């Protein structure tokens, strides 16, 4: 076991560190961290418009009128259904900071570039409009690619020195405006040529091409149980060596999972069948029970069944944070990191939670998650209820019991060793 751990640490740690420090993955993480609060707020408004309570629609219609849902769907539309715009802003700002470029110029240019490639509709009165769906999850990958390409173009122009430089006497805000002229011109010309080029193809626009040949295959792959299990085992292995595996994995897969979440939210809002089992809610609320490794069951064991003073103290310390999905006290305090005995259940627990939840939902026992983005610190059972009703809450209860069962023999062995060591020290 020790040799295996040394080999894994030697091979995987450098890869994980490179991924975690990759500027594009960092920009993606910053992009979604930056908009997560808006997505959570928008999701709650969606939930308020569709509470699964008998008589609720009639009650609200009586108070607010037949169009009562618009009181909640408008905030949902300008948050969840405009998510790509906010992700583009946050991603381009993050990448601009990495390159030490003018963040405002990068943000505005990225938004313009994305809108150039976004299909528009000609209205009956002769005007033009952008369908809100093109700015939601459907346009997410196009927006992300646009943000990255725009900042790279601006970086290239800046490196070449193709800028209009004003005298020092000119106010800084005026000088910055002129400095952004040439990079912005390059961006608009290049993206307009891309738009024209795709208009001459059967796809007619870039968004259609990206959606069908990049986004849709990734979503199809991301919705599979084997892909989820593979990424989870990799994530757990990184955690076992003290590397924040969730940061590495979510930086790559979170855009896919959040897109699947948005698709479920849109279907839930329209009263249609929910399309996806696996999404960000599935990962966050039915796999990470008490944090990665589904350690909530272990926290309960530490609190209620430990004999050693060390484990009893850790149980009292860790139970509070574990309720809110924070399990670093257990990971580094037990410890689980570099502990051959505890690594085994830690890596296996989350995939087992995934299998239980997947088959519970695929069999129809538990509803699919409704697309409500809730804070990752929402306690289990409550989170299960919000995203999948009372059956989701019951599933969380079952999962907590199963996670305790997974950890129990390993916990008892570790506790026995700690207890014996304490007794020996007293003698």
| Confidence band, pLDDT 50/70/90 cuts, at residue 9 | low
pLDDT, tens digit, for every residue of 338-355?
A: 788 888 899 999 999 999
| Arithmetic mean of pLDDT over the chain | 86
- Would you say residue 366 has pLDDT above 60? yes
- Would you say residue 427 has pLDDT above 80? no
pLDDT at 246: 76
pLDDT at 57: 84
75-111 CB burial, b ≥16 within 10 A, e <16 = bbbebbbbbbbbbbbbbbbbbbeebebbbebbbbbbb
Residue 262 · residue 275 · CB < 8 Å = no
Phi and psi dihedrals of 244, rounded to 5?
-70, 85
pLDDT, tens digit, for every residue of 223-261?
A: 888 888 988 888 888 888 777 777 777 767 888 888 888
pLDDT at 256: 85
pLDDT, tens digit, for every residue of 44-64?
A: 888 888 876 778 888 888 888
Please state the rounded mean pLDDT for residues 361-384.
Answer: 91
Domain ranges of the chain: 79-222, 227-426
pLDDT at 150: 95
pLDDT, tens digit, for every residue of 166-195?
A: 666 666 666 677 777 888 999 999 999 999
Helix residue spans in 293-336 (DSSP H): 296-304, 309-323, 328-333
pLDDT at 352: 96
pLDDT at 238: 81
Closest CA to 22 of 242, 188, 251, 307: 251
pLDDT at 411: 92
């Amino acid at each position: 076991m020790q040799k295996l751990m040394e080999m894994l640490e030697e091979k995987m740690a450098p890869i994980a560190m490179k991924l975690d420090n990759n500027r594009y993955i960092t920009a993606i993480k910053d992009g979604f961290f930056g908009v997560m609060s808006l997505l959570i707020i928008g999701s709650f408004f969606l939930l308020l418009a569709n509470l699964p309570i008998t008589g609720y629609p009639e009650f609200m219609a009586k108070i607010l009128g037949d169009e009562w849902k618009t009181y909640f769907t408008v905030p949902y539309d300008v948050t969840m259904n405009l998510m790509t715009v906010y992700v583009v802003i946050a991603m381009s700002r993050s990448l601009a900071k990495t390159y030490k470029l003018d963040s405002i110029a990068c943000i505005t240019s990225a938004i313009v570039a994305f809108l150039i490639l976004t299909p528009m509709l000609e209205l009956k009165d002769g005007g033009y409009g952008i369908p809100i769906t093109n700015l939601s999850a459907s346009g997410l990958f196009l927006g992300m690619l646009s943000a990255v390409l725009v900042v790279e173009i601006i970086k290239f122009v800046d490196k070449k020195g193709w800028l209009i430089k004003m005298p020092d006497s000119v106010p800084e805000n005026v000088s910055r405006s002129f400095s952004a002229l040439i990079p912005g011109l390059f961006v608009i010309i290049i993206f307009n040529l891309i738009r024209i080029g795709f208009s001459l193809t059967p796809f007619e626009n870039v968004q259609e091409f990206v959606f069908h040949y990049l986004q849709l295959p990734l979503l199809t792959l991301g919705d599979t149980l084997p892909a989820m299990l593979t990424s989870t085992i990799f994530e757990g292995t990184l955690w076992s060596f003290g590397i924040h595996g969730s940061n590495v994995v979510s930086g790559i897969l979170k855009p896919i999972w959040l897109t699947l979440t948005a698709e479920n939210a849109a279907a839930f809002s329209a009263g249609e069948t929910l399309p996806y089992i696996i999404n960000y809610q599935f990962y966050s609320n039915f796999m990470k029970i008490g944090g990665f490794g589904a350690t909530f069951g272990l926290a309960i064991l530490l609190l209620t069944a430990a004999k050693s003073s060390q484990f009893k103290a850790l149980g009292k310390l860790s139970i509070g944070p574990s309720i809110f999905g924070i399990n670093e006290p257990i990971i580094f305090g037990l410890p689980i990191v570099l502990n051959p005995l505890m690594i085994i259940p830690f890596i296996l627990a989350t995939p087992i939670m995934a299998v239980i939840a997947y088959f519970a939902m695929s069999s129809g026992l538990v509803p699919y998650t409704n697309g409500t983005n809730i804070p990752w610190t929402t306690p289990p059972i409550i989170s299960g209820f919000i995203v999948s009703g009372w059956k989701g809450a019951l599933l969380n209860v079952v999962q907590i019991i199963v996670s305790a069962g997974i950890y129990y023999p390993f916990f008892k062995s570790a506790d026995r060793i700690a207890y014996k060591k304490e007794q020996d020290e007293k003698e």
